[in-house]
Amino acid sequence: MPSTHLCLNVQLVFSTKDRVPNINDEIIADAHAYIGGVCRTLGAIPLQVGGVADHVHILLGIKATHSVANLVQEIKKHSNSWLQERVPGFSWQEGYGAFSVSPERVKGVIKYIQNQEEHHKAMTFEEERIMLLKLAGLDFDPDKLD
């Protein structure tokens, strides 16, 4: 094949340290916009960034040359610095979830991320995390989730 064609979409999910709900209403929209800008700077395409006070969801289009682990590390590093200027002591939790998203599911995942506030009226972050792990078919021990 003379050319290369890629469609690589990934949903990233990570939380604030100890799940402290410190991304308050005053900065949450700016924080999500900043995270989207970091993603663009790294060469990824932020399709949607959203979340609530204690965690973030990022739907990204990535390149073949991207490493998910490196992207997450850089996104966390740069957004952590930005957030610490606004929320003293802010920090992201170690670890993250990364889930592949097929093209036909992109619109649904975008809508899901846009409706995070509504989702979390009925579901905790822990319940959401377990749901995402199950949907991805990943084995995990619920007693060992941090």
- Sign for the CA dihedral angle at 11, 102, 111, 122 comes to negative
Count of the separate structural domains present in the chain: 1
User: Cα angle vertex 8, ends 100, 17, to 5°?
Assistant: 50
Distance CA 90, CA 56 (A): 14
Q: Is the pLDDT of residue 11 over 80?
A: yes
Asked if 120 and 15 touch (Cβ cutoff 8 Å), the reply is no
Q: Is residue 33 part of a domain?
A: yes
Which domain, by its residues, includes 19? Answer: 8-144
Please write the tens of the pLDDT for every residue from 101-119.
999 999 999 999 999 999 8
The rounded mean pLDDT for the chain is 94
> Does residue 103 belong to any structural domain of this protein?
yes
- The verdict on residue 115 lying in a domain is yes
Tokens of residue 133, six digits: 């792990």
How high is the pLDDT of residue 4? 85
Give 2's pLDDT tier (boundaries 50, 70, 90).
confident
The pLDDT of residue 112 is 95
| Residue pLDDT, tens place only, 56-78 | 999 999 999 999 999 999 999 99
Over the stretch 21-59, which tens digit does the pLDDT of each residue have? 999 999 999 999 999 999 999 999 999 999 999 999 999
CATH of the domain at 25: 3.30.70.1290
pLDDT of 1 over the 90 cut: no
Question: Comparing 3 with 17, which gets the higher pLDDT?
Answer: 17
Number of H helices, E strands in the chain: 5, 4
Query: Is 65 within a domain?
Result: yes
Q: Which two tokens stand for residue 122?
A: 């009925």
